[in-house]
Amino acid sequence: MKRIGFLLLAVATVAGIVAHMAHASGQFDGDSSPIYGVKIPAGYRDWQLIAVNQLHFAGMGEQLRAQLGNDIAIKAFKEGTLPFPDGAIIAAIHWTRVPSETNNEVLDGPFPRH
């Protein structure tokens, strides 16, 4: 009888750990991934590049910006369809340049060889 009780306790513990890990991973469902409170659509890493811009801010540095679109947005963009149809999504990714002496030392020299 003690073995059955121990087995039930072990199964309940493992089930609790698995449930906690699934919740802690931050995946609300299979269709999106939460980043900073915003649900990012599945497959966004495969979206096509629309444009790239480099901005210079006086006293604030530089920023590299990329605009991406899903398949619906890319098709509408190429065909000149306005307004864009339902389901079209355009997203922007921004990188702010932060100077690094370590990176400067590595990148100023010759390309590393293996």
pLDDT in tens, 75-85: 999 999 999 99
16-72: pLDDT as tens digits: 554 444 444 444 445 555 667 777 787 888 999 999 999 988 877 899 999 999 999
Residues contacting residue 61 through CB under 8 Å, at least 6 positions apart: 96, 97, 98
pTM given for the model: 0.55
Question: Using alpha carbons only, what angle is made at residue 64 by residues 97 and 93, rounded to the nearest 5 degrees?
Answer: 110
Among 64, 66, 65, residue whose Cα is nearest residue 98: 64
Q: How far apart are CA 85 and CA 36, in angstroms?
A: 27
Annotated domain spans of the chain: 43-99
